[in-house]
Every structure is written in structure tokens, then in C-alpha cells.
Amino acid sequence: MYDTDDLYNEEEDYSGPSRSQKKREMTALQKQAEKLMNLGPELVKKCGLPDYFIDEVLDAMTITAHEAKRRKVQYIGKLMRDIDSQPLIDFLEDIETGNRADNLKFHALEQWRDRLVEGDFSVLDEIMEKYPEADRQRISQLARNARKEKDKSKPPKSARALFKILRELSE
């Protein structure tokens, strides 16, 4: 007869990921490929992946027909199985993180400019503390001119120049 202990105690042989898991992984790779295709040719060339892969992505970017593009994305996902996709994932994360950091820096510069134009010259001390090489006199002159332009409803030429100086300092 059957020994019930043997039925429950046998360890099942692990034969790798399930079919569903493989499909989830393929879908994730296809989504990474779509993100890469949305970046633009210049960034695709900088992703550090093999040339044949980059050529396929660039080719896919030129396809406009929906079904053809879907098939091409699937093919690129298949190619990604054969290469190490971690550098691509890291590359895409760096771009997304970099964009967020750039936006935060940009907003901080805008706030400094707006505070200077409003007449809050205490921010000038913050700027000088952070960027000692900054030309204090030039910044304060541009802020005063920007305030006058704003009061007279003129184009914000000085405000733009002020922002440009602040951006150059931060870079």
C-alpha cells in the first residue's frame, strides 16, 4: 500500500520559475524597453547596451503602426532576456531621479529669484553663503531692475538675467 508519510514528506523538485512568473518578468522587460524608446535617440545611444540592441530600439522608435510597434517591443523584451538588463534598469532610474533632482533645483532657483524681485534681500545672504564667488552687487542690481520692470508691467528682462546668473552659479 501507500505510505502516507512518504507522500507528504517528499520534497518537490524545483524546476525554476513558474510560467506566470516568466510572463511577469517578460512584461517588466517590455515596459523597460518602452521607457527606453520614449527617451529619444541621444539617450538611447548613451545607455551602454550592445550595439545590436540599441539599433533595434532605434528602429522601433521609427515604427508608427500600433501592432508593428507592439511586436517590436515584444522582440526587444526577448532580446533583453539574453543581456544583463540591470544596467538598463539602473540607467532609467538615474534619468528619472536626475530629472526630479533637476526640477527641485530649478524650483529653488525660481524661489530665490522671486524673493529677490519682491525685495527680500535676506536671500542674498543665503546665496552668498552658498556661492561665495557670486557678484553680490550685480545680483542686487538685477533684482532692483526686475522689481522696477514688474511694477511698470514691462517685459521681465532683468528677472531672466537674474535667473540666468543664479543657474550659472548652481552649475
CATH number at residue 76: 1.10.60
Do 77 and 108 belong together in one domain?
no
CB distance 116 to 132 below 8 Å: no
90 in a structural domain: no
Answer yes or no: is pLDDT of 169 > 80.
yes
Amino acid 57 reads: V
Amino acid 135 reads: D
Q: d(Cα 147, Cα 116) in Å, to the nearest integer?
A: 8
Angle in degrees, CA 51, 54, 60, rounded to 5: 145
Helix, strand, coil percentages (3-state) for the chain, rounded to 5, are 75, 0, 25
Total count of domains within the chain: 2
Q: How confident is the model at residue 71 (pLDDT cuts 50, 70, 90)?
A: very high
- The pLDDT tens digits of the residues spanning 6-63 come to 555 555 666 778 889 888 888 888 888 888 888 888 888 887 788 888 898 899 989 9
Domain that holds residue 27: 21-83
Q: How confident is the model at residue 130 (pLDDT cuts 50, 70, 90)?
A: confident
- The pLDDT tens digits of the residues spanning 95-119 come to 877 777 778 888 888 898 898 888 8
Read off the C-alpha cell for 76.
526587444
Q: d(Cα 144, Cα 142) in Å, to the nearest integer?
A: 5
Where does a domain end: 31, 54, 83? Answer: 83
pLDDT at position 141 is: 92
Q: What are phi and psi of 37, to 5 degrees?
A: -65, -25
Do 163 and 108 belong together in one domain?
yes
For 8-69, give the DSSP string. HHPPPPP-SS-HHHHHHHHHHHHHHHHHHHTT-HHHHHTS---HHHHHHHHHHHH--SHHHH
Please state whether the predicted TM-score (pTM) of the whole model is above 0.85.
Answer: no
Work out the mean pLDDT of the chain and round it to a whole number.
84
pLDDT at position 6 is: 54
Do 78 and 110 belong together in one domain?
no
